[in-house]
Structure 1
Amino acid sequence: MARASMSLDDLVQQLRQVHGNALQAVVLYGSAASGEQIVGHSDFNVLVIVSSIDVVQMRSLGQTMRAWAEAGNPPVLELTEQEWRRSADIFPMEYADILERHRLLHGTLALTELVVDKHYLRLQTEQEAMGKLLRLRRGVMVAGTDAARQIDLLRSSFSALMVIFRAVSRLHGVKPERDATRVIQDVAAKCGFDPAPFTAVSALVRGTALSNGEAETVLAGYVRGMDVLVGYLDRFTSPSAAPEVIPPVQS
């Protein structure tokens, strides 16, 4: 993925200019927060907490957010402080990632009494997994027999897929490993699918090439594995020994 020149420091500086004293926290979360990102392929997930925001401020951030997207990053998650405190039930996957591993870039992040309920986490994980499966199916149809398109589909889908896999680990009361291969093997064993296509894609995003013939085989196994995962999540019942909430980890 091509990266433009906008950095995290640039983003924070421009957020401070627009929000002023209303800017309470800028938080990096996900793989980049713990040093697991893959240069050129991992994006920067950023949470922004403000005391208030209005349409004028949103418009003022237009150029900043376009530049951030052009640098290959997902949209910034911007919440008011009240929204941050009451939205763990609707963004449980994101909150679980943030509570477990994050890095403050500016301000302070309120974590008191924030927990992720596993009931909501299972629902969002299943929804995201099903959405991912549908997008993969569409991608397969668009790619057809074009090996380059198949490889691009595998590479571009991996980061979001690992977010889902980490959520599956948390549903079992397990803190996800930092190593992607170990996460894949653990989730595959729990859900009953072949980890090999997923470990092949993990190697792909780290620079190990796939041949044209391999791409088709790996993609087929990738889709089969996601199909199994969706069915597993639909039937999932939390292990009785696991806690029903995921508490914050103080950084």
Structure 2
Amino acid sequence: MAKAPKTPQEVFPEIVADLKGAYGDALQSVVLYGSGARGDYVAGKSDINFLVVLAEDAAEELEKILPAIPRWRKRAVATPVIMTKALIASSLDVYPVEFLNMKRHYRVVCGEDVLMDLAFDRENLRRQCERELKGKWVLLRTGFLETEGKTEAVRRLLAASITAFLSVFAALLEIKGRAIPGSRREIVSAVAEAYGISPDPFLQCIGLREGRKDAPLAEMKSIFRSCSAEIGKLTRAVDELRVS
């Protein structure tokens, strides 16, 4: 029976073989990104994420890999992102945050390096960061109500929220030309310094994400209130930010 691999590298040969068997020379690139490329993949918990780049004439032939999808799922491989080089180039103005985060940590498994030369317009980044922050802020507040004040539900909400915000935080540092640190805590501290907010509630959320179980409900409600308030400040700062 197929099982989750101990490392992402274990699935490289079978993924590449499946894709080459389906697309042949039309397969231009296979790129590992996400936790597997960052070095924090956890067997049995993490998904393995791939960007697959195909030639234009093969990009609509998705049915060719349908038989492989169930096998990949059993090996913890998420459904791959299938794109063309032209689609990547034309998407940088709309999804710069996603591509920036992909470019921060990736590994070319097969073919061309389609991420190395990507460049990002800072105003496009700012617009998406503003949109993402406001959307995630609303989801955080709505999610808090949906917890009904139950301890474990609040803990899960706060632990999940920090992952969502960190992807935006990295882009906020890019906008200001700041180096993007490698660790979650360093990213939070850098954004707090750059935008004049408190890092404390986000650092506490990281602790919950990393497995802290002893926080009482009253403390987590306080973390939520502080987190929501600081996201509000950050949203206003990004809204008012002018980039050249």
TM-score tier by shorter-chain length is 0.7 to 0.9
Residue aligning to 1:181: 185
CA change 1:112–1:71 in 2 (3 A) is closer
* Amino acid in the other structure paired with 1:116: F
1:33 aligns with 2:37: yes
Deviation at 1:180, TM superposition (A): 1.1
1:137-216 alignment, distance < 5 Å: 137-213=141-217, 214-216=219-221
User: Which of the residues 93, 102, 122 maps onto 1:89?
Assistant: 93
Contact conserved, 2:103 with 2:116, CA < 8 A, in 1?
A: no
Secondary structure, counterpart of 1:116 in structure 2: coil
Secondary structure, counterpart of 1:82 in structure 2: helix
Residue aligning to 2:222: 217
Q: Whole-Å Cα distance in 1 between the matches of residues 163 and 51 of structure 2? A: 17
Deviates more, 1:75-84 or 1:61-70: 61-70
How many residues align? The count is 235
Q: Whole-Å Cα distance in 2 between the matches of residues 161 and 192 of structure 1? A: 16
Q: Whole-Å Cα distance in 1 between the matches of residues 74 and 225 of structure 2? A: 31
User: Which of the residues 132, 137, 142 maps onto 2:136?
Assistant: 132
* Amino acid in the other structure paired with 2:197: F
CA change 1:111–1:157 in 2 (3 A) is closer
Q: Whole-Å Cα distance in 1 between the matches of residues 234 and 67 of structure 2? A: 39
1:228 aligns with 2:227: no
1:16-55 alignment, distance < 5 Å: 16-36=20-40, 43-52=47-56, 53-55=58-60
Secondary structure, counterpart of 1:25 in structure 2: strand
The structure having more radius of gyration, on CA atoms, is 2
Q: Whole-Å Cα distance in 2 between the matches of residues 38 and 225 of structure 1? A: 31
Secondary structure, counterpart of 2:181 in structure 1: coil
Q: Whole-Å Cα distance in 2 between the matches of residues 73 and 216 of structure 1? A: 36
Deviation at 1:107, TM superposition (A): 1.3
Contact conserved, 2:96 with 2:128, CA < 8 A, in 1?
A: yes
Deviation at 1:134, TM superposition (A): 1.6
Contact conserved, 2:29 with 2:54, CA < 8 A, in 1?
A: yes
Give the TM-score normalised by structure 2.
0.81
Deviation at 1:157, TM superposition (A): 2.4
Give the TM-score normalised by structure 1.
0.79
The percentage of counterpart residues that share the same residue type is 25
Contact conserved, 1:47 with 1:76, CA < 8 A, in 2?
A: yes
CA change 1:225–1:67 in 2 (3 A) is farther
